[in-house]
Structure 1
Amino acid sequence: MKVALLQLHPLDDADSADPGWLAPIARNLGNLGVDVLVLPELILPGYNRPDAHRDLSQSLSGRWVQQISSIARDANLAITFGWAERAGDQVYNAASFIGADGAIRGHYRKIQLFGPMERQSFQHGSDDPPVFEYRGHRIGMLVCYDIEFPEHARSLARHGAEILVVPTANPVGYDHVQEYLIPARASENAVNIIYANYIGPDGDMAFGGGSVIVGPDGRPLASAGRSPAILIADLPKRTDFADDTLSTQLGELRA
């Protein structure tokens, strides 16, 4: 499976309210044969915009999902994106996986909210992270801080996930996540991980970039520095050794 991630500066107000800017990027990636594109956390309506999280949040049947679905169909690739989801009176830090046919294949509400801003803006998700099949691969979803808790990645691996898509908004000063924790999660569970971050200032905070695509042996397949970037990689399948190792590890945990 060929995957891509987009590392970009936080969007301005207009672009963070309307994902139309994504269409030409997705179309170009689709022409390159990319199967799955992963965007950062809360790309709609922006991460460090607590004023907008409730006011601009939308439902699963809202305009944002419809627009991303249309872009995915036109580009013939799947898109994973983070966004502020409204469900009744609650607002969630959510991520959705939209297939190339425009259908929602996976949807997840972040469980591990990070810092006072997220906890003030959002309700904690209560459902287990999903695992679903797409183009012959089992895919699991997490959002940013979730991946730093080993049990979430391990649960997805136990349910058959071989690829984890992780929209993120990791600030400056937390580079150890990309450098050490993401490779560790990949290696200990024998999974591929696509970890898509922002770069640069966003109001009173700044993001550190360092987006990465990691293989099931924990080695980076592609990594970004501290500038906007598009990463593309062909994901390897689990090797027989990795499968045996994972089976042994999971068996020991069940014992």
Structure 2
Amino acid sequence: MRVSAIQFAVKLGDVEFNYAAAERLICKAAEQGTDSVVLPELWNTSFYPPNVEELADTDGERTKPFLENLAKTYGINIVGGSVANKRNGQLYNTTFIVDRKGTMVSSYDKVHLFTPGKEEKVFTAGNAVNVFSLDEVQMASVICYDIRFCEWVRKAALSGIQLLFVPAAWPYPRLNHWQILNQARAIENQLFIAAVNSCGTAGTLKFCGHTMLIDPWGKIIAQGEDEERIVAADLDFSVIKSIRDKINVFHDRRPELYNIE
């Protein structure tokens, strides 16, 4: 499966620019030849303007048909990063996933809200793991800060996923955390990771880019720097079995000892 991770400078509060940029880059990735595309976190508003609730989509009314039409037109799967999304009077940081037929297959509300950025004062946290299948491959997605919570990623991994998507709006100066945490989650769960970040700025934040595709050994097989780029690679899921046969961490787990409450 060829996966294309779209890194671009999401403009703070400029919703029209951001939808146009996302469409342009999805089309470009499709023309280059891909199976699955993933966008960064909060690509409709950036992270996040003071009037984010006013600018947010309403129950995906704009985002879902936008992604569905592009997926169906180009015959590609789209993991829609995440958008600011109003639902039942509350604001969520939401991922929408669409298959190559243009069918919405899953959605995910960010579970761990970034309290240093006061995200919890604006957004409502989700409470469910997001596991889905695209092209008969089991996958999951989390959002940005979620990657710091190894037990949350492990919970998804225990369902048998082979690829984890991590859309983010991750700033400098924590670039080394971005790289190390994603590599660690890949190694400890023996799966591929597509970690896509924003670049550019939002107010005082400068996003560090370095979108990465990581293999189950933790090797970065494709990476951007800090400018607009489509980071793409072919993922061979057959290697996962051989890796897990060599070092079978799932077989050797002792969950009866892991009461961490």
TM-score, structure 2 normalization: 0.89
Structure 2 counterpart of 1:252:
254
Separation (CA, whole Å) in 2 of partners of 1:144 and 1:14: 21
Separation (CA, whole Å) in 1 of partners of 2:12 and 2:176: 28
Tell me by how many angstroms 1:13 deviates.
4.5
Structure 2 counterpart of 1:40:
40
**Structure 1 SS opposite 2:58:** coil
**Structure 1 SS opposite 2:187:** helix
Structure 1 counterpart of 2:126:
125
Tell me by how many angstroms 1:62 deviates.
0.4
CA contact (8 A) 1:84 1:91 kept: yes
Separation (CA, whole Å) in 2 of partners of 1:139 and 1:84: 23
Equivalent residues in 2 for 1:1-255 (5 A)?
1-11=1-11, 13-16=13-16, 19-51=19-51, 53-80=52-79, 81-114=81-114, 115-126=116-127, 128-237=128-237, 238-244=239-245, 245-249=248-252, 251-254=253-256
User: Residues 24 and 10 of structure 1: is their aligned pair in 2 closer, same or farther, counting only changes over 3 Å?
Assistant: closer
Which range moved further: 196-205 or 135-144?
Answer: 196-205
CA contact (8 A) 1:15 1:21 kept: no
Tell me by how many angstroms 1:45 deviates.
2.1
Separation (CA, whole Å) in 2 of partners of 1:247 and 1:61: 37
User: Residues 116 and 38 of structure 1: is their aligned pair in 2 closer, same or farther, counting only changes over 3 Å?
Assistant: same
Which range moved further: 24-33 or 228-237?
Answer: 24-33
Amino acid of the structure 2 residue aligned with 1:125: G
CA contact (8 A) 1:215 1:236 kept: no
CA contact (8 A) 2:141 2:164 kept: yes
User: Residues 200 and 17 of structure 1: is their aligned pair in 2 closer, same or farther, counting only changes over 3 Å?
Assistant: closer
> What is the alpha-carbon root mean square deviation over aligned residues?
1.9
State percent identity of aligned pairs: 25
Amino acid of the structure 2 residue aligned with 1:140: A
Separation (CA, whole Å) in 2 of partners of 1:183 and 1:30: 27
Separation (CA, whole Å) in 2 of partners of 1:125 and 1:186: 23
**Structure 1 SS opposite 2:185:** helix
**Structure 2 SS opposite 1:42:** coil
**Structure 2 SS opposite 1:199:** coil
User: Residues 5 and 73 of structure 1: is their aligned pair in 2 closer, same or farther, counting only changes over 3 Å?
Assistant: same
Tell me by how many angstroms 1:178 deviates.
2.8
Tell me by how many angstroms 1:36 deviates.
1.0
> How many residues matched?
252
In the TM superposition, what whole-angstrom CA distance separates every residue of 1:121-180 from its partner, at most 9, and x where no partner exists? 201112x22111110200101000001110111111101111011110001011123321
List runs of 5+ in structure 1 lacking aligned partners: none
In the TM superposition, what whole-angstrom CA distance separates every residue of 1:3-29 from its partner, at most 9, and x where no partner exists? 011111122644556624333432332
